[in-house]
Amino acid sequence: MALLDSLFGKKKKEFRATCGITKEPLEKGYGYLLTTSQIVSSKKYWDLVMTEPETLSYTISHFKNQTSGTQMRSMIFEKYASVEKPWIVSDSVINYFEVDKNTARENAKKWWELEGNYKPSNTGRADGTLDADAFLLWKNYAILEAGREKVKAA
């Protein structure tokens, strides 16, 4: 019977993942697993997010003192800061974050083994996992300062 099941049984769908930032597909077992706190605690990351083609107009508006741009940047911050699950990220973006790469790689391996059901400690929304002062610092940077240099240069 087991032979028939293996021949005619439904195949389990292969677990796949894409980078939470670039959306590029990741090979099984690769990548790094970060928490939302680690993601939002990066100037390089916020400078990238706030100057992407789909957000650049809000950044330009913000630095021209238009409240609509600042409001949109606030919404963008909240979108990212409220992610409950850990983030699987690719080699191409890991250097945006000041993290222990070995730990992040090991956590990614566990995450792959459990098909996305592994959560490292400190997983959850940034406002619940960062202390209040650190959260406010990163929120203010993301909303008020991120991308300033790129907009100045343009």
**Domain chopping of the chain, boundaries:** 18-153
Q: Give the pLDDT score at 10.
A: 62
Contact 32, 111 (CB under 8 A): no
Band of pLDDT at residue 148, cut at 50, 70 and 90: very high
Q: Return the pLDDT at 52.
A: 95
pTM given for the model: 0.88
Q: What is the pLDDT of residue 125?
A: 98
Whether residue 11 contacts residue 79, with contact meaning beta carbons closer than 8 Å, is answered with no
7 vs 15: CA distance, rounded Å: 21
- pLDDT tens sequence across 58-113: 999 999 999 999 999 999 999 999 999 999 999 999 999 999 999 999 999 999 99
Strands (E), the chain: 17-18, 25-26, 32-34, 87-89
